[in-house]
Amino acid sequence: MHGRRRELIREPTVDEKAQAKQRVEKYCALNTQVMELRARKEHSEDALAATKRLLELNTELHTVWNYRREIFAHLEAWRVTEKKKAMLEQELEFLLEIIMKNIKSYWMWNHRTWVLCQLPSPSWDRELKLVAKLLAIDARNFHGWDYRRFVVSKIREASVDPAAVDRSEFLFTTEQINRDCANHSAWHNRSKLLPAILEELTEEKRQEVIGKEVDLILNAIYTDPDDQNAWLYHEWLLDVQTGADAKCALLRNKVAAIREFLELEEDSKRPLIELVDAFIAMDDLKSGQVSDSEKKECFYVLNKLKDIDSYHIGKYADTESTLQRRWTEQP
C-alpha cells in the first residue's frame, strides 16, 4: 500500500521451501481441475466450490470469476428469488474475505459490482461504509475510489435529493485532501463533483465556492509544493471558469500566492515553473495582461531555473527564446 515500506526478503529455510512446493503443486492441481470442469461446461455446486477454493489462492484469475458467474446462472436455486438472494449475500461475504487478501484485484471488484446488481434491493449504504473503511486503511487506493464512485452513483439514482449526495461526497473529498494533500484520487473525484455543484449556484455563490477551492489548493501547495496534484487541480479549475477575465483573475491569485511562497522558499522548482506558466497563460488569454516588469520577472525566473534545474536547461532556453520573439514582436 502507499506509504508503507517493503519488507526485507530473506532466504527461506528448507522446510519453508518444501511447504511452498506443496502449495504450488496443490494450486496447479486445483487450477487444472477447474479448467477441466469449465471445458466440460460443468455447472454444479461442486464446480462452484472448486472455483471458490481456487480464487481464495489467486484472485487474479478473471476466467474463473467469469466461470463462477456462469455456474450461478445455471443453478436451479438461481431461479428461486429467495434462494438467489441468499446465494448473493453469501457471495458478498466471500468477496469480503477476498478484499482482505487483495484489495487491489480488478476482477474481485468487478465481480462484487455484478453481485450487487443482481440483488433486487442492494444495501448501497453498507457498501459506502465498507469502502470508507478501506480508504481509511489506504486512502489513495484507486480501486477503492472507482468502486466508491460506482456506489455513490447508485445512491444518487435512488435519492430524492441527488444534489445532497454530491455535496456529501464533495465534503468527503475535502476531508481526504486535508488528511493527505497528495491524494490524487480525492482531487480527481472532486473535479467530477464540482461542476454539478456549481450549476446550482448564482454567480456570486459560484465565485465564493471557487475562492474556497483556491484556498484549499494553496494550503496543499504550502504543504508540499512539489506535489503535482494541487497544481493540476488549479489548471482544471481554470478551465471551469467562463470568460477570459475570470480566468485571468484566477491566474493573478495564483501569481500572488507563488510570489508569497517564494519569499520563504526562493529556489523551489515547481512554484517557479508554475509562475512562468501563469504569465504565459495570462498572455495567451488576453493581450496586455502581462506588464513589462512581469515579463522581466518571467525571464529572471527562467534563468534561475536553468541554474537550479540544469537537466532541463534546453527546455527553459527554448521557452525563453519563444517569449523573447513573442514579446519583442508585440506592438
Neighbours of 86 (CB within 10 A): 12
57 half-sphere exposure, CB direction, 13 A CA radius: 17
Residue range 263-316, pLDDT digits in tens: 989 999 999 999 999 999 999 988 888 899 999 999 999 999 999 999 999 999
Among positive and negative, which fits the CA dihedral 8, 12, 13, 15? positive
**How large is the average pLDDT for residues 164-170?**
93
* Of the candidates 270, 194, 183, the residue with the CA atom closest to the CA atom of residue 229: 183
- Per-residue model confidence as pLDDT tens digits over 51-103: 999 999 999 999 999 999 999 999 998 999 999 999 999 999 999 999 888 88
Segment 243-258, tens digit of pLDDT: 888 899 999 999 999 9
Using the predicted structure, report yes or no on whether residue 146 has a pLDDT greater than 80. Answer: yes
CB 87 within 8 A of CB 77: yes
- DSSP string for 239-306: HHS-SHHHHHHHHHHHHHHHHHHHTT-TT-HHHHHHHHHHHHHHHHHSTT-S-HHHHHHHHHHHHHHH
Q: What angle do CA 67, 110, 89 make, to 5 degrees?
A: 80
Among the listed ranges 42-56, 132-146, 150-164, 288-302, which one has the minimum average pLDDT value? 132-146
DSSP 139: T
Query: pLDDT tier at 1 (50, 70, 90 boundaries)?
Result: very low
Mean pLDDT to the nearest integer, 138-145: 87
Angle between helices 184-199 and 228-240 (to 10 degrees): 20
